[in-house]
Structure 1
């Protein structure tokens, strides 16, 4: 049985993890090439050919040349996803308000009335009349 010293194991694991990191970077670069709006079809094809035929050099050159805009595209995509999520939540919340019980519909109005009463803009009697009107 051959010996496999600890240092050899360390070097094997190091190279394995570096290879995995490079694969992640390669897929990230390919995804960025395909979603990039500022590249035309020929530009995308050229970068894909460089990245796939000369993988280590192609990925490194792409990150050097287009790394800054790559980050900007990531930020823009994250902002777009967040805006879409917020719009969905607002839409879903609006739909649930339409089916809410009558008492739940006027919470904002009651809060405004209480603020007006606290500021002295309306009297206790006016507050009670408006409150009764909202709840009935």
Structure 2
């Protein structure tokens, strides 16, 4: 999957598309991180990046304008975490994309109660993001 940065940064008044662009740009910025530092790996693995991109693109395709923007961060092993936070509603969704295919992507959600679920398709992410948007 190849997304040209120029395609992502064109201006648009569409807030869902803007949220999608922000999320994609944040994912791409992770590739510019140093490979590692004294605390561990900084740059995500190619598998984690491709998995995150695939799920985000498929979720946006299904959600359109209602796609919320996410913050992104790597962990010290090379996986990626995308986080959608709504502090006003005390609601959060976190998508974890692992370092390789031996591990499963999963989604964590919290709103008073919490839970997690393995991601087997973008439909699960869409369901949780729609739940997130209800707040």
Q: TM exceeds 0.5?
A: no
Question: TM-score of the superposition, structure 1-length normalised?
Answer: 0.26
TM-score (norm 2): 0.26
Q: Which structure shows the higher helix fraction?
A: 1
Q: Which has the larger radius of gyration?
A: 1
**Bigger proportion of residues as strand:** 2
Q: Which has the higher contact order (CA 8 A, sep 6+)?
A: 2
